[in-house]
Amino acid sequence: MLDLTPLRPLIVVPTYNEVENIDELLLGIQQHAPAADVLFVDDNSGDGTVDRIRRHQTRTPQKIHLLSRPRKLGLGTAYVAGFKWALERDYDAVQEMDADLSHNPAYLPQTLAFPQGTDVVIGSRYVAGGSTRGWSLSRRWISKFGNLYARTILGLAVRDLTGGFNAWRREVLEAVSLDNVQSEGYVFQIELKYRAARAGFSLHEIPITFVDRRRGQSKMSGQVAWEALLRVWTLRSGRARL
């Protein structure tokens, strides 16, 4: 049995040079999650992304919002800024979503439904029915290994710790000490789920198909991967402030 969709969900979308994807992304969100507002957190894009967002804002100023930052400051800090923005404005739930169309908006009704007793809903590539599309064999291997590595070290049952299509009840974000989150790359996704589990919240995975970006450039780098490897051990050792 499902709870009612929260009255005020917010979708947080970090952007950096994603002008080619904004129109299609917003069309999908408006089709599948019409009750949700959208907050773009932009890191000083130079390709017209902000102008495109503002064009949409003029049409629906109450539904589409923009938080502009002075430079590229990292995925984790973008989400923390977006989460704090949401909490200050009394949203009931916050959904993370990539701007590159890798996350299908058609899954939003499922993640924002929150099965009864669930505090975090994770769009998972690695539960039954989940998958990736358009990835090379090496990228699949690296992703699966990274999740197994983090899951084993941190002692978590979640199969997709690194995925970025997640919905959080506001109570979780209020409890996980956002000011202490230090991860910048995709390890942010691991850290926040770990913090939520340690705080006693319930995490639930639903299967999704993750599609590789069709337009624009990936933000993944070797530095991001190394950060993940090292940060997991910091969390495990207890040196991270929880």
Q: Is residue 60 part of a domain?
A: yes
Q: Summarize pLDDT for 199-236 with one digit per residue, the tens.
A: 999 999 999 999 997 755 554 444 555 566 677 867 87
Q: Summarize pLDDT for 105-159 with one digit per residue, the tens.
A: 999 999 999 988 899 999 999 999 999 999 899 889 888 888 999 999 999 999 9
Nearest Cα to 29, choosing from 81, 95, 82, 122?
Answer: 95
Q: What is the mean pLDDT of the chain?
A: 89
Q: Is residue 242 part of a domain?
A: no
Q: Is residue 115 part of a domain?
A: yes
Q: Is residue 4 part of a domain?
A: no
Q: Summarize pLDDT for 22-42 with one digit per residue, the tens.
A: 999 999 999 999 999 999 999
Domain assignment of residue 54, given as a range: 9-237
Residue type (1 letter), 119: D
Q: Is residue 42 part of a domain?
A: yes
Our count of domains for the chain comes to: 1
Report pLDDT for 83: 98
* Neighbour count for residue 166 (Cβ, 10 Å): 23
Residue with tokens 């941190």: 154
Q: Summarize pLDDT for 76-116 with one digit per residue, the tens.
A: 999 999 999 999 999 999 999 999 999 999 999 999 999 88
Report pLDDT for 238: 67
Nearest Cα to 109, choosing from 128, 126, 123, 125?
Answer: 123
CATH of the domain at 222: 3.90.550.10
